[in-house]
Chain A
Amino acid sequence: GENVEQHPSTLSVQEGDSAVIKCTYSDSASNYFPWYKQELGKGPQLIIDIRSNVGEKKDQRIAVTLNKTAKHFSLHITETQPEDSAVYFCAAKGNFNKFYFGSGTKLNVKP
């Protein structure tokens, strides 16, 4: 089955700096890659996604890049704000509609 690895597990940045979270996947058949933000006591919130036929997608301060050859994808957050502090998960959709999640990155944005 699919295996998704996520790094780093924790990330601390100064407000206004950029943050980058990286994920790798193992199954070349995976074709959809969402990113979620999870705040304490809440369910994951979809923040951006990318399909395998696209290399990059941007939504305001958030962007995702996908390298199918290397089987890795990354989340980029620019001009970070304290409210960006949360746990971020990457995921990959494999065969039979199964979604596989990374282990999460705890982002701390210091004011």
Chain B
Amino acid sequence: DAGVTQSPTHLIKTRGQQVTLRCSPISGHKSVSWYQQVLGQGPQFIFQYYEKEERGRGNFPDRFSARQFPNYSSELNVNALLLGDSALYLCASSLSYNEQFFGPGTRLTVL
């Protein structure tokens, strides 16, 4: 069975640019969550979507936004990139509100 997939694998942007990250959940999973993981730290919760509706939001600025599509895939958008946005962005899918299964992540570097 295919796990959670994320694209792209790596991304390099400059300050002020915008970026879109993509995630496809495990087949049958209707919930997608996004996390930011800075090197050497645990993942920080950004958003959770269930059935295309936002069900949870972490303490991130409005520059971060997301959406979930009818096929349950999801996009995370970050506007006006800052150097501090450099991190591994993880997507997790779940069948319920509990067990989450993570993808390999997208490594974003902001120069």
Contacts and interface: CB of A to CB of B under 8 A. Distances in A.
A59 to B, nearest CB: 13
Contacts of B48: 97-98
A43 B98 contact: no
17 contacts: A43-B4, A46-B99, A46-B100, A49-B98, A49-B99, A91-B42, A93-B97, A93-B98, A96-B55, A97-B48, A97-B50, A97-B97, A99-B45, A99-B100, A101-B45, A103-B41, A104-B41
5 smallest CB-CB distances across A and B, nearest first, come from A101-B42, A43-B102, A97-B56, A44-B102, A96-B56
Interface of A: 1, 4, 6, 32, 34, 36, 41-46, 49, 51, 89, 91, 93, 96-104
Given A49-B99, A104-B40, A104-B41, 17 more contacts: A34-B100, A42-B105, A43-B4, A43-B104, A44-B43, A49-B98, A51-B98, A96-B56, A97-B50, A97-B55, A97-B56, A98-B56, A98-B58, A99-B33, A99-B35, A101-B43, A103-B41
